[in-house]
């Protein structure tokens, strides 16, 4: 008779390592959310249009997506400690550069560097725990680390608003300096430099194709309504992104050393899950960027109050965690994702019904419901996508999914910014609320259409 695995509590010698990895997880989680409430203040300080500030979000997220495939190879080749140390140093110095930026282009440059550091923090930290901590204590370690991942997004919006009002937007980046310095000091004490004895040759050509594909698609969509970029250049970037994607698909099929082999997509459920993750996240990932902008630019709400208003989204996400498994067990993956995808789309579209006079209690409940539905969607999609992958494909499949999630976030924000710019130009600056409302309706409709992807999930898919 098989016995269930015993999960031990974390031994003292591993607690400092988990604390160190948690620092990286916290920094990345905080940085992803703290900036959203500060964008209008940053735009004012840098003499930029607030509707152009989505580039600050996209540059970071796109850099993370592009560098995720590098993280595992670097950790195996140069050791987890050396790679993690370099990631924290790059992230911290880039944060200093962001805070000292004197113009928009400087800020974008340092955000790209920050994204490169951020791309290594979480994957390499998780890999370090996997390689160093005994399997019996791994669950306890991951549970402790996940708390840091929840605290960052919970504090981010409110802390961002508070720092903008009480100090300046520069402090949303300077706050990373003491945290990063602590991480640098702890790294050599807590993390041994575990390496792999044999490391396969890095698929450089495949990596270049993936970067061209992601950058071309995201920047092509982002710049298509920009007055500073010609339509010809925007379309050229989009075409380059599509062509690079197609070439990589052939490369993945024929190249034995490809970063992500085409055999991954022989698994029908994995393929549906990846496609669903990409399209269903476009709207859901754009809301944390779009709503603080609407509350401040269209509704004239203060940054700190805006940050407080976004907190129920994270609380809704926390509330959803214990109820996901029983709901999916009761209704099944296919039915759950069909229904919940429609509900998320409807919830995004329903934000277009709010205005400056909407009572705070209604807005709070609205954000909480969105947080619940969005978290249910993301966790269920991720579980469905990875659950049937064979062991030999688990690492590659998980990395590809992580890359797709970050790519979807960057394209979602780019799409939201492009739609907002297009509708604000059409309706005029005096009709800014209407531009936001129509953008939200479009994003909600995209999410609703994603239900057709989840309809392809086999009816007999086991839980």
362 CB-side CA count, 13 A: 9
Q: Is the pLDDT of residue 131 over 90?
A: no
Reported as a single tens digit per residue, the pLDDT across 9-66 is 556 667 788 888 888 888 877 887 888 888 888 888 888 888 778 888 888 988 988 8
Say whether both 154 and 39 belong to one domain.
yes
Q: What is the pLDDT of residue 419?
A: 92
- DSSP summary character for residue 37: G
Q: Is the pLDDT of residue 135 over 50?
A: yes
Q: What is the pLDDT of residue 10?
A: 57
Q: What is the pLDDT of residue 444?
A: 95
From 234-248, 255-269, 274-288, 410-424, the region with the lowest mean pLDDT: 255-269
Residue 334 in domain: yes
Say whether both 179 and 210 belong to one domain.
no
pLDDT band at 451; cut points 50, 70, 90: very high
Residue 73 in domain: yes
Q: Is the pLDDT of residue 140 over 50?
A: yes
Say whether both 215 and 174 belong to one domain.
no
- C-alpha distances (whole Å) from 129 to each of 22, 154, 170, 309 are 11, 24, 33, 35
DSSP per-residue codes, 262-281: GGGGGSHHHHHHHHHHHHHH
Reported as a single tens digit per residue, the pLDDT across 65-95 is 888 888 878 888 888 888 889 999 999 999 9
Residue 3 in domain: no
pLDDT band at 258; cut points 50, 70, 90: confident
- C-alpha distances (whole Å) from 82 to each of 65, 125, 188 are 21, 11, 9
pLDDT band at 328; cut points 50, 70, 90: confident
From 4-13, 65-74, 213-222, 239-248, the region with the lowest mean pLDDT: 4-13
Tokens coding 291: 């709503």
Q: How far, rounded to the nearest angstrom, does the alpha carbon of residue 45 sit from its chain's CA centroid?
A: 26
Q: What is the pLDDT of residue 314?
A: 86
CATH number at residue 329: 1.20.1250.20
Q: Is the pLDDT of residue 420 over 70?
A: yes
Q: What are phi and psi of 133, to 5 degrees?
A: -85, 135
Residues whose CB falls within 8 Å of the CB of residue 149, separated by 6 or more in sequence, listed in order:
25, 26, 29
Residue 2 in domain: no
- Spatial separation of the C-alpha atoms in residues 191 and 271, rounded to whole Å: 36
- Spatial separation of the C-alpha atoms in residues 294 and 205, rounded to whole Å: 41
- Selection from 324, 312, 23 nearest residue 185 by Cα: 23
Q: Is the pLDDT of residue 452 over 50?
A: yes
Q: Name the percent of the chain lying above pLDDT 70.
A: 93
Identify the domain boundary among 258, 279, 300. Answer: 258
Identify the domain boundary among 235, 258, 281. Answer: 258
Q: What is the pLDDT of residue 390?
A: 74
Say whether both 294 and 226 belong to one domain.
no
pTM for the full predicted model? 0.85
Say whether both 29 and 98 belong to one domain.
yes
Say whether both 395 and 284 belong to one domain.
yes
Average pLDDT of the segment spanning 287-309:
89
- Selection from 456, 457, 446, 420 nearest residue 345 by Cα: 446
Q: Is the pLDDT of residue 263 over 90?
A: no
Query: In terms of pLDDT, which residue wins out, 397 or 333?
Result: 333
Confirm if 214 and 62 have CB atoms less than 8 A apart: yes
- Spatial separation of the C-alpha atoms in residues 30 and 190, rounded to whole Å: 23
Identify the domain boundary among 147, 172, 192. Answer: 192
Would you say how long the chain is, in residues?
463
Say whether both 250 and 272 belong to one domain.
no
Residues whose CB falls within 8 Å of the CB of residue 456, separated by 6 or more in sequence, listed in order:
272
Say whether both 78 and 41 belong to one domain.
yes
pLDDT band at 385; cut points 50, 70, 90: confident
Say whether both 282 and 165 belong to one domain.
no
Q: What is the pLDDT of residue 382?
A: 81
Say whether both 335 and 365 belong to one domain.
yes
pLDDT band at 2; cut points 50, 70, 90: very low
Residues whose CB falls within 8 Å of the CB of residue 213, separated by 6 or more in sequence, listed in order:
241, 242, 244, 245, 248
Query: What b/e sequence results for 101-117 when a residue is b if at least 16 CB atoms lie within 10 Å of its CB, and e otherwise?
Result: beebeebbbbbbbbbbb
Domain of 274 in residue numbering reads as 265-463
Q: What is the pLDDT of residue 5?
A: 45
Say whether both 425 and 444 belong to one domain.
yes
- Selection from 234, 238, 237 nearest residue 224 by Cα: 234
């Amino acid at each position: 008779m098989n016995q269930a695995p015993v999960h031990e509590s974390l031994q003292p010698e591993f607690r400092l390592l988990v604390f160190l990895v948690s620092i990286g997880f916290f920094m990345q989680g905080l940085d992803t959310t703290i900036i959203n409430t500060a964008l209008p203040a940053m735009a004012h300080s840098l003499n930029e249009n607030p509707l152009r500030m989505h580039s600050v979000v996209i540059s970071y997220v796109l850099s993370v997506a592009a560098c995720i495939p590098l993280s595992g190879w670097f950790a195996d080749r140069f050791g987890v400690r050396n790679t993690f140390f370099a990631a924290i140093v790059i992230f911290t110095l880039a944060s200093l550069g962001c805070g000292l930026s004197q113009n928009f282009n400087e800020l974008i440059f340092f955000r790209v560097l920050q994204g490169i550091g951020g791309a290594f923090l979480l994957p390499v930290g998780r890999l370090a725990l996997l390689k160093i901590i005994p399997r019996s204590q791994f669950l306890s370690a991951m549970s402790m680390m996940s708390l840091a991942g929840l605290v960052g997004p919970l504090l981010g919006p409110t802390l961002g608003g508070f720092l903008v009002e009480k100090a300046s937007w520069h402090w949303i980046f300077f706050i990373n300096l003491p945290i990063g310095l602590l991480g640098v000091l702890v790294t050599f004490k807590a993390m041994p430099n575990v390496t792999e004895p044999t490391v396969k040759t890095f698929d450089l050509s495949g990596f270049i194709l993936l970067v061209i594909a992601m950058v071309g698609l995201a920047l092509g969509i982002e710049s298509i309504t920009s007055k500073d970029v010609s339509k010809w250049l925007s379309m050229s970037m989009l075409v380059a992104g599509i062509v690079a994607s197609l070439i990589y698909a052939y490369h993945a099929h024929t190249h034995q050393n490809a970063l992500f082999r085409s055999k991954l997509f022989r698994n029908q459920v994995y393929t549906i899950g990846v496609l669903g993750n990409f399209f269903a996240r476009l709207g859901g990932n754009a809301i944390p960027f779009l709503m603080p902008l609407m509350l401040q630019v269209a509704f004239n709400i203060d940054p700190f109050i805006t940050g407080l208003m976004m907190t129920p989204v994270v609380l809704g996400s926390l509330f959803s965690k214990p109820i996901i498994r029983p709901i999916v067990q009761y209704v099944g993956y296919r039915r759950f994702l069909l229904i919940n995808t429609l509900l998320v789309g409807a919830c995004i579209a329903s934000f277009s019904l709010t205005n400056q006079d909407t009572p705070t209690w209604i807005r709070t409940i609205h954000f909480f419901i969105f947080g619940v539905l969005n978290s249910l969607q993301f966790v269920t999609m991720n579980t469905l996508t990875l659950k049937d992958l064979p062991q030999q494909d688990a690492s590659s499949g998980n990395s590809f999914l992580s890359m797709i999630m970050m790519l979807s976030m960057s394209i979602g924000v780019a799409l939201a910014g492009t739609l907002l710019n297009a509708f604000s130009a059409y309706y005029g600056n005096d009709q800014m609320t209407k531009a936001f409302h129509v953008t939200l309706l479009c994003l909600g409709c995209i999410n609703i259409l994603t239900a057709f992807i989840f309809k392809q999930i086999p009816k007999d898919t086991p839980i």
